[in-house]
Amino acid sequence: MNLDFTGKTVLVTGASRGIGRTIALEFGRAGASVGCLATTLGGAQATADLIREAGGTASAAAANLAEAAEVEAALSALEAELGTPWALVNNAGITRDKLMMRMSEDDFDQVLAVNLKGAWLTSRAVMKPMMKARGGRIINISSVIGLHGGAGQANYSASKAGLIGLTMSLAKELGSRGITCNAVAPGFIETDMTGDLPQDFREFVVKQAPAGRLGRPEDIAPAVLFLASEQAAFITGQTLTVDGGLFL
Ligand code: NAI
């Protein structure tokens, strides 16, 4: 199956590094005009530059996803440059892991603000133009921790479980307009976010997962591209786990 995004604009949050950068680069390779969004303009631009160097089309914008006004300004700038988005990938996310006993209200609020409300804000911003175009794709990057919980991750797991609820609700609201909304739930993926996982936990994952290894951003991007494709029109409201079988 050839996933071709020529003529389509795709917006990716958290595109400066890790999973988001790989997703943005893959969309660029598949012909999409890619709007790269990150906390810093430099980070977003670095990814956009890589896409352009490879012959693709890309623009960059910066926004703190916890700030509604910044999100709206960044998304309208990208839309003005690249046109109506066909797809939005809500990939940006943060952790502030601590056992509940030690977790501050700010730890909870910040993680929910970026991971969950950020996706709500970006989805709200793209929804109108997508509805007008009578088609589109929203893909939320959740986590296996949103499905199964994680000790020391009450804030993160609540945000990622919340994304799954958001996904199903948007699927129901937008389905009649040709817009699908799905989530991808990655397992443990080698990025800056998991850089300080203890060695014994890594060994446990490698032993436990049928795939016998941690994941790489390149394992997640194809799932996202498929769900963003025209071919995935009849899949909506779903959460696709991509974890090498870790939670089987
Ligand atoms: P990362 O830490 O390498 O990259 C996170 C990205 O989000 C960066 O581009 C960063 O600039 C952006 N970001 C952070 N706070 C932001 C804010 N306030 N406003 C705008 N952008 C912001 O993380 P990684 O590993 O690439 O994760 C990407 C997504 O995948 C996250 O949502 C994460 O929760 C999720 N995920 C990651 C897993 C892993 O094992 N790495 C497993 C499951 C889910």
Å from CA of 98 to ligand 1 middle: 18
pTM as predicted: 0.98
Q: What is the domain-level CATH number for residue 145? A: 3.40.50.720
Counting ligand 1 atoms within 8 A of each CB, the residue from 94, 120, 163, 194 with the most, and so the one to mutate, is: 94
Residue 169 lies in a domain: yes
Q: Is 121 close to ligand 1, i.e. is its CB under 6 Å away?
A: no
Please indicate whether residue 56, judged by its CB atom, sits closer than 6 Å to ligand 1.
no
- Residue 90 maps to a domain: yes
Cβ(157) to ligand 1 under 6 A? no
Domain annotation covers residue 1: no
Catalytic residue (choose from 25, 156, 221, 241): 156
Q: How many CB atoms lie within 10 A of CB 96?
A: 17
DSSP for 72-118, written as a single string: HHHHHHHHHHH-SEEEEEE---------GGG--HHHHHHHHIIIIIH
Q: How confident is the model at residue 1, as a pLDDT?
A: 80
Q: What is the pLDDT of residues 54-111, one digit of tens each?
A: 999 999 999 999 999 999 999 999 999 999 999 999 999 999 999 999 999 999 999 9
- 38: which DSSP letter? E
Structural domain includes residue 163: yes
Query: Could you list the residue range(s) of the whole structural domain that residue 39 is in?
Result: 9-242
SS3 134: coil
Cα–Cα distance measured from residue 5 to residue 148, given in angstroms and rounded to the nearest whole number: 33
Mutation test of ligand 1: which of 13, 19, 189 has the most ligand atoms closer than 8 Å to its C-beta? 19
**Chain mean pLDDT for the chain:** 97
Residue 176 CA to ligand 1 center (angstroms) comes to 31
Q: Nearest C-alpha to atom 18 of ligand 1 is from which residue?
A: 64
The whole-angstrom separation of Cα 122 and Cα 102 is 31
Distance CA 125, CA 100 (A): 33
- Ligand 1 center to 78 CA (angstroms): 20
Evaluate whether residue 79 is within a structural domain. yes
- Rounded Cα distance between 228 and 225, Å, is 5
Which contiguous run of DSSP H or E holds residue 69? Answer: helix 68-82
**Per-residue pLDDT at 195:** 92
Ligand 1 centroid to Cα of residue 221, in Å, is 14
Domain-embedded: residue 63: yes
Assess whether 122 carries a catalytic annotation: no
Is there a domain that residue 248 lies in? no
The tens digit of pLDDT for each residue in 179-216 reads 999 999 999 999 999 998 999 999 999 999 999 999 99
- Residue 247 located in a structural domain: no
Contact assessment for residue 142 and residue 185, using Cβ atoms and an 8 Å cutoff: yes
Number of domains in the chain: 1
Asked whether 122 lines ligand 1 (CB < 6 A), one says no
